């Protein structure tokens, strides 16, 4: 019955709403992410609950439903997806499928009036992403890109430090997201399912988090891709992308993503007064945030919270209060445009100019700190 | 849809059992620990579920029940505790009450045939602890002391490094558990409710974890207590205890616990080949384990798991498989004896000899790694 | 009379040679680097001694000479530089002058038969660098580029880890060297004295160390430069350079250097099995070397040695034993070529192809570990 | 020609005094400490120079003299010690001999009018220490105990943080100094030469640094000693001492020293507002100072300076300006008294009360920051 070194959760998270009143989700896809992260996140969420599971593997779907207190009747296969329409307790779907399937299920969900939370990247390509935003608008359902890293205490502290000027004027950023994919048969390495390689999967974190931290959009990119010759894993999708981005404020950012090296996820921001480091920057737990000046290196101790629960609960809050999510479809769509430009630069071996955006947070909706404000 | 730097949970924890088949608990007491830690732990547990809550604050009890998918009927007050007897889905109670109340509710639970998981310390004093062990034996129910730190990946890795000789021969240990208690009115500072001061609450972690790591029992203690003069917080219970323990193997351990300093929870083990450091050592999250030799300092990256869920699931496994818990009442009782000796040494200003134990892990039951073995 | 945690120096450095038999140096320039680092380095060197100082500030030169046990007669001004010819105890000069002066004093030293150790960069431009290599060859004197980071225990351990395959196959590298230059009047910001901006001064560390670690030469570069508009400090030389390099082995390296952000000097290497981090990577003291795998992060504890003494003593060993220095003029010249290509890429906004080198360590001489071998 | 991350030395240390005007030392004893640390320290000192060496090993003495620019005539053996009297350039002796020889050479030095800097511990026993203080007073020479850790930037920053209240009210301290002595034949393990075991050698650091940080003297000690049975290394002197000290302010300190475990040198201070950690705390280089609050952990980056040079230069400043050294013989003598009480407590198995001191810094002289004040 003691307290912990890291700040306590209770200051941030009261008792959840009654389960019956929570926003209900149908989860599509029961892979490792769903089992290891999303189902526990729903279990501890403040205002979000698992209401149904959808999978081709009926036995697994039933086991999952029962494990979390649902019934066999809550397990659906994809053919019966539209039956969810009649489920008043299913307010939204959480799409946890291979990238190129996001569009189809977004369209099917929109048509039956369910809100859509889509895993990142928003889609397997730019056209699909545009279609997803469009269809949700047409059917009056909300669409949110599951950008976990725009909802955690560490990333918000990092953004606040930058936006409040604690690092001085920002000059440079560097970010890495690499991991080792060893199984040549997995869907991430199949172009038809993934729509691209390391950029769409892990490089997207660098891209997205830098945009979030700076609240501005890049004006130019230069990129190189590389795949180890004769490596059967990288026949269809790229192994590595290294790119540079310039921002209107003068910030230059360098990023590396890869499927071919031992995992590292880090982000460094260099300001006139201080350097800020997130390392690990994108992990599910144990993020570490340091600020280094000429005299000191300071680690910020922040509470360890379920990052997925924070993300999902934000969407629930937006559904309940009819707000635009902080990372709506438009936010995911913008990354899709930038990734298309990155691929183009690599193909053509030259820098690519991008459309100029004046507005801060040009594609973002209501910030997650309002989730609590509304409840107070 | 990425992996994380820290090892993944899925390797250790499959999909939970069907909720209906999980071991059901009635939780007694709805303070911060229950709300912030235990209820989320039940929600993500593999084989343990919340089945009822007991509190004098009926409104809070109902809110808690509803928040986690139970009904108003699952909220009890203490007068109605015995009604739990008829609840077939309540297999055990988890006592999260002030120390001196542990005995009463253990006795009442045993009498209605419910297993007992008691928060630490086992009781407010040695006599109560002995009575608790006795009554559970008499009624054929299991009693487990909720020693979270004997169930985590970090503490087991630490124990393995010691027991496997990776640090060489162990010579010295030092451990600190201090925190700042600022509210003079809280129950921890009232002798009638707490039965003692910082030793029973936070010092117990040092004592218990050292015994766990070494698997042996101390043969002598010397202790000093200290309370800041005229500090109203420490009129009834001690602020600080500093003590030394000698073990039959020759290991000397020094420990400090206090309610009067900024929180620190650390443990250092000094062997002939290496030093091992857990810092933080007893927090709920973000434990860090380092091994230092003359050439290197190595941090062991271990998965971030819900420590309370691991602890509770162990008790459930023991109930289901009729095994003795790894930290049964007897384990908690032994600490109670040692704490009594520590207080005696401080009172009398002299070292106190302790009963010699030859047996390794003298008071412990079946280790938690068997929980998974049984399921395989 | 104890030992230290970090490995001891005695294992590496025996008693110095008799001072009289040590290789004598005339130091040209008495700025901060000379006073703070080089003079102490000579004082603790194993086989190198200060024999004369050259400066326009006669009073400072005399004070310096006397402080280190020399006489007033050992203090020269630049006009009297050629008088050093007759000094049999002056075997070499150490040029610690603004970049664009390196050539003149190398030529004057070569003509009077003195070996030359030149601070980095080798020269203010490519043409000068080529002239320096040429003139030293013509006069049969040795020329060494003062690349401190190719002589320290940390950088050699890093290179060994890479070359021995401990990180697996190397895929990616990232390096940063930024610092804040606040005085607009200093010589580093004057094109006539510096010959360039942050690239020549600090970016060179990234470039040079990566080449050293990989032992291969880049085949392509792409670069961008940036100077904050209307910042008077960066009217003549560039503030920031961000560049990418491709190596024949497939390694992609990203680098950032700047005069406009709070100092950071780091280097990360990403291999298939592990990530290696030097952070700080280029400081004079307290370098930290870590290797991270999925299971552990290991800091390598290496002895804190005077990095400048190691560098200077290597040149002395080469002079005494008539060996080619590990970082001869040719090594400095190659960086000068690469920096010219980096500037060209930035000017032309396109990647620049480079001459292909097959040979490993194509421009390096006898490694410093032979310094000790020769003496054994 | 760059700056370093860690603060630069130049801000603290200008050009040394002319070598001829520096205070000259005869060093007695040429073991590892002399060769690896003290001779380099003299070489870079600001106002201290090596003037003579004294050893029974004439060849080594000559090699040492020549290595540092002295002549064969500067090498003495112990029989000729008194000849130093006529050396006007030898102002002081630095005694780097086994503990029990400190007294004899202090007496002989005092008699020939040379100031004495004695390695720690001041003597092999209390009686010798008292005699040393007495004889130096009688002959009007200064006596300083070589307590390096009272002269470094890290230890002064630590003291300032405590004395300025940055940690709140100090409640607890813990310190460890252990190392592995493997050679049973070395003098440290011979009672006749060492006068004691790990306490006199390494435990003294804990004792002395805690007294320095708090500026007060302990009022009670309780100690246990332990030597592994049948370990031939610890037949004459103790392996391990674990002790507790109480201070008049209420601070409780625990310390462990040992010759039997892998080296660790650390010190933790627990205040009401923050925890301060020095780890390593007593190494010659790479000290690390951290301050931890509930919200942050902050490492203080301080310049890496030659700790021995700082210590020696302080003694030189005191000689030149006729000031009492900050750590005079009396400071070493006080530790000797405390160590005698620690041994007594361990022998008698009971706490020992100590003489009460009201005065702050009761045994210390003029602080080293005055060394610079005087020169300004």
The pLDDT of residue B5: 39
Tell whether A284 and A343 lie within a shared domain.
Answer: yes
- How far apart CA B210 and CA B255 sit, in angstroms, is 10
Query: Is residue C11 very low, low, confident or very high in pLDDT (cuts 50, 70, 90)?
Result: very low
Best B166, B172, B233 residue to mutate vs chain D (most D CBs within 10 Å): B172
Diameter of chain A measured on Cα atoms: 62
Closest residue, chain B, to A30 (C-alpha): B15
CB contact under 8 A, A258 and C292: no
| Residue D13 pLDDT class (50, 70, 90 cuts) | low
B-chain CB neighbours of A263 within 8 Å are: 3, 5
In this prediction, residue D371 carries a pLDDT of 82
Provide mean pLDDT across the span C184-210: 97
Mean of pLDDT values over A37-58: 97
Nearest C-alpha of chain A: how many angstroms from C5?
22
Question: Which residues of D are catalytic, by number?
Answer: 120, 205
CA of D274: how far to CAs of A34, D166, D295, in Å?
41, 8, 10
Mean pLDDT value of segment C141-145: 98
The residues on A that touch C, with CB distances below 8 Å, are: 167-168, 171-172, 174, 176, 178, 180, 222, 224, 226, 228-229, 240, 242, 244, 246, 250, 252, 254, 256, 258, 260-264, 266, 268, 270-275, 292-294, 349-351
The beta-carbon neighbor of D295 closest among A294, A295, A301 is A301
The Cα B122–Cα B334 span in angstroms is 10
Q: Which of B262, B275, B294 sits opposite D272 (nearest CB)?
A: B262
Predicted local distance difference test score (pLDDT) of residue D373 = 57
Question: What digits encode the pLDDT tens for the residues A87-131?
Answer: 999 999 999 999 999 999 999 999 999 999 999 999 999 999 999
| Contact (CB<8Å) C285/D304 | yes
Residue pair B274/D263 in contact (Cβ under 8 Å)? The answer is no
pLDDT at A373: 57
Amino acid B376: pLDDT: 41
A168 and A129 together in one domain: no
ipTM confidence score? 0.94
CB contact under 8 A, D201 and C44: no
Residues 6+ apart with CB under 8 A from A97: A28, A29, A105, A119
Nearest to D151 by CA among D13, D339, D335: D13
Residues C71 and C93 in one domain: yes
Selected residue of A174, A198, A210 to mutate for chain C interface (largest C Cβ count, 10 A): A174
Q: To the nearest whole angstrom, how far is the Cα of C180 from the nearest Cα of chain A?
A: 7
Question: What subunits make at least 3 CB pairs under 8 angstroms with C?
Answer: A, B, D
Subunits with at least 3 CB pairs below 8 A relative to chain A? B, C, D
CB contact under 8 A, C7 and B300: no
> Residue B14's pLDDT is what?
78
Q: Please report whether residue B372 resides in a domain.
A: no
Which DSSP letter does residue D328 get?
B
Whether C201 and C118 share a structural domain: no
pLDDT digits (tens, 9 = 90+) for A289-337: 999 999 999 999 999 999 999 999 999 999 999 999 999 999 999 999 9
Cα dihedral C306→C308→C314→C315 (10° resolution)? -160
Residues of chain A in contact with residue D294, where contact means CB-CB under 8 angstroms, are 5, 7, 301
Q: To the nearest whole angstrom, how far is the Cα of D376 from the nearest Cα of chain C? A: 17
Residue D200 has pLDDT above 80, yes or no: yes
Question: Which residues on chain B place their C-beta less than 8 Å from a C-beta of chain C?
Answer: 5, 7, 294-301
Q: Do D18 and C264 touch (CB under 8 A)?
A: no
- A69-78, B11-20, C83-92, D84-93: least confident range: B11-20
CATH label of the domain that carries residue A242:
3.30.360.10
Q: Model confidence over D266-297: pLDDT tens digits?
A: 999 999 999 999 999 999 999 999 999 999 99
* Model confidence pLDDT, tens digit, residues A16-41: 999 999 999 999 999 999 999 999 99
- Rounded to an integer, the average pLDDT of C142-153 is 98
Strands A48-54 and A75-76: parallel
We report the CATH number of the domain holding residue A121 as: 3.40.50.720
Q: Evaluate whether residue B373 is within a structural domain.
A: no
Phi first, then psi, for residue D298 (nearest 5°) are -120, 120
Q: Same domain, yes or no, for C353 and C222?
A: yes
Tell whether the model's pLDDT for residue D374 goes beyond 60: no
Chains that contact B by 3+ CB pairs under 8 Å?
A: A, C, D
Question: From CA A365, how far away is CA A317, in angstroms rounded?
Answer: 12
- The angle that helices A329-348 and A204-214 make with each other, rounded to 10 degrees, is 120
Q: Is residue A193 part of a domain?
A: yes
Alpha-carbon gap, residue C207 to C257, rounded angstroms? 10
Mark yes or no for CB contact C261/A172 under 8 Å: yes
Task: Inform me whether the pLDDT recorded for A161 exceeds 80.
Answer: yes
Asked whether D42 and D70 are in contact (CB, 8 A), the reply is no
Q: Is the same domain home to D336 and D266?
A: yes
CB atoms within 10 A of CB D286: 19
Q: What's the number of domains chain C is made of?
A: 2
What's the gap in Å between the CA of D347 and the closest CA on chain C?
26
Angstrom CA distances, D206 to A242, A372, D149, D259, D350, stand at: 51, 50, 10, 14, 21
Burial-class residue C372 by CB neighbours within 10 Å (0-12, 13-18, 19+): middle
D258 CB neighbours in chain B (<8 A) are: 171-172, 270
Nearest residue in chain B measured CA to CA from A44: B40
Confidence label for D369 from pLDDT (cuts 50, 70 and 90) = confident
Q: Which of A129, A148, A167 is the last residue of a domain?
A: A148
The chains in contact with chain D, meaning 3 or more Cβ pairs closer than 8 Å, are A, B, C
Query: What is the interface size between C and D, counted as CB pairs within 8 Å?
Result: 124
Give C-chain residues touching D5 at CB under 8 angstroms: 263-265, 280, 283, 286
In a domain, C373, yes or no: no
CB-CB neighbors (< 8 A) of C119 in chain D: 1
Residue C132 lies inside a defined structural domain of this protein: yes
Residue C25 is predicted with a pLDDT of: 98
Residue of A12 and B333 predicted with greater confidence: B333
User: Between C231 and B374, where is the model more confident?
Assistant: C231
CB contacts, 8 Å: A176 with chain C: 172, 174, 268, 270
Q: At which of C148, C164, C189 does a domain end?
A: C148
For helices B329-348 and B204-214, the axis angle rounded to 10 degrees is 120
* pLDDT value for B276: 98
Q: What is the pLDDT of residue C1?
A: 27
Shared domain for B100 and B187, answered yes or no, is no
Shared-domain flag, residues D356 and D233? yes
Q: Could you tell me if residue D312 is inside a domain?
A: no
The residues of A that are catalytic are 120, 205
Same-domain status, C54 and C92:
yes
Pick the last residue of a domain from D129, D148, D167.
D148
The confidence score (pLDDT) of residue C9 equals 41
Taking 90 as the threshold, does the pLDDT of residue D350 lie above it?
A: yes
CB contact under 8 A, D299 and A301: no
- Compare all CA atoms of chain A with the CA of C249 and give the residue at the minimum distance: A228
Q: Is B190 a catalytic residue?
A: no
**Which stretch of DSSP H or E encloses residue B111?**
helix B102-111
pLDDT of C7 > 60? The answer is no
Q: What is the mean pLDDT of residues C3-13?
A: 41
Do D30 and D78 lie in one domain? The reply is: yes
Task: Determine the Cα–Cα distance for residues B29 and B98; give it in Å rounded to an integer.
Answer: 9
A131 and A54 share one domain: yes
Q: Residue B180: which of A5, D269, D175 has the closest Cα?
A: A5
Quick check: is C121 in a domain? Answer: yes
Residue of C255, C132, C253 lying closest to C199 (CA atoms): C255
Instruction: State the nearest Cα–Cα gap between C144 and chain D, in angstroms.
Output: 16
CB-based contact C5 D44, cutoff 8 Å: no
Distance, in Å, from the CA atom of D25 to the CA atom of D32, rounded to the nearest integer, reads 18
Q: Which chain C residues touch A224 with a CB distance below 8 Å? A: 222, 244, 246, 252
Q: Are C267 and C279 in contact (CB under 8 A)?
A: yes
D337, D126 Cβ separation under 8 angstroms: yes
Whether residue B299 and residue C301 make contact (CB cut-off 8 A), yes or no, is no
Cβ distance B245 to B221 under 8 Å?
yes
pLDDT, residue B257, reads 98
Question: What residues of chain C have any CB closer than 8 angstroms to a CB in chain A?
Answer: 167-168, 171-172, 174, 176, 178, 180, 222, 224, 226, 228-229, 240, 242, 244, 246, 250, 252, 254, 256, 258, 260-264, 266, 268, 270-275, 292-294, 349-351
Percent of chain C with pLDDT over 70: 95
Indicate whether C6 pLDDT > 60: no
* pLDDT beneath 50, residues of chain B: 1-12, 374-376
Long-range Cβ contacts of D284-290 (<8 Å, 24+ apart): D284/C4, D284/C6, D284/C304, D284/D37, D284/D308, D285/C4, D285/C6, D285/C285, D285/C304, D286/C5, D286/C6, D286/C286, D286/C304, D287/D152, D287/D154, D287/D155, D289/D154, D289/D157, D289/D158
**Chain A nearest-CA residue for D296:** A300
Chosen from B290, B298, B300, B302 to mutate, greatest number of chain C CBs within 10 A: B298
Query: Per-residue pLDDT for D63 more than 80?
Result: yes
Q: Give the residue from C166, C218, C242 with the most A CB atoms within 10 Å of its CB, the best one to mutate.
A: C242
Candidate from C7, C295, C299 with C-beta closest to B297? C299
**Is residue A14 domain-resident?**
no
Q: Which domain range does residue B128 map to? A: 9-148
User: What residues in A contact B32, CB-CB < 8 Å?
Assistant: 8, 10
CA A28 to mean position of chain CA atoms:
16
Query: Which carries the bigger pLDDT value, residue B14 or residue A215?
Result: A215
Local structure of D59: helix, strand or coil? helix
B292 and B266 in a common domain: yes
Tokens, residue A359: 């507005």
How far, in Å, CA of B168 to CA of C355, rounded? 54
């Amino acid at each position: 019955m003691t307290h912990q070194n890291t700040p306590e959760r209770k200051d941030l998270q009261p008792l959840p709403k009654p389960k019956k009143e929570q926003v209900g989700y149908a989860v599509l896809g029961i892979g490792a992410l769903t089992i290891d992260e999303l189902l526990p996140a729903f279990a501890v969420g403040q205002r979000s609950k698992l209401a149904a599971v959808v999978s081709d593997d009926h036995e697994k779907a039933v086991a999952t439903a029962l494990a979390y207190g649902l019934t066999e009747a809550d397990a659906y296969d994809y053919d019966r997806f539209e039956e969810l329409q009649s489920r008043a307790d299913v307010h939204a779907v959480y799409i946890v499928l291979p990238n190129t399937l996001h569009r189809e299920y977004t369209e099917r969900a929109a048509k039956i009036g369910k809100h859509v939370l889509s895993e990142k990247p928003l889609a397997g390509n730019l056209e699909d992403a545009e279609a997803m935003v469009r269809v949700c608008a047409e059917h009056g359902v909300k669409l949110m890109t599951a950008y976990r890293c725009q909802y955690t205490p560490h990333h918000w502290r990092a953004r606040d430090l930058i936006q409040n000027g604690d690092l001085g004027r920002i000059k440079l950023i560097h970010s890495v997201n690499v991991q080792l994919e060893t199984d040549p048969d997995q869907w991430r390495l199949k172009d038809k399912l993934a729509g691209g390689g390391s950029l769409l999967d892990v490089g997207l974190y660098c891209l997205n988090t830098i945009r979030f931290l700076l609240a501005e959009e890049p004006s130019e990119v230069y990129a190189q891709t590389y795949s180890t010759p004769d490596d059967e894993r990288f026949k269809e999708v790229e192994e590595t992308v290294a790119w540079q981005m310039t921002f209107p404020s003068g910030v230059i950012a360098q990023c590396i993503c890869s499927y071919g090296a031992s995992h590292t996820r880090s982000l460094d921001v260099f300001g006139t007064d201080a350097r800020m480091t997130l390392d690990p920057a994108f992990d599910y737990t144990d993020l570490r945030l340091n600020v280094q000046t000429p005299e000191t290196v300071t680690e910020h101790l922040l509470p360890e919270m379920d990052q997925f629960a924070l993300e999902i609960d934000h969407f629930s809050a937006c559904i309940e209060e009819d707000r635009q999510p902080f990372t709506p479809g438009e936010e995911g769509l913008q990354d899709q445009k930038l990734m298309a430009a990155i691929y183009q630069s690599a193909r053509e071996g030259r820098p690519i100019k991008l459309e100029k955006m004046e507005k801060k947070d040009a594609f973002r909706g209501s910030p997650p700190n309002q989730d609590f404000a509304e409840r107070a």
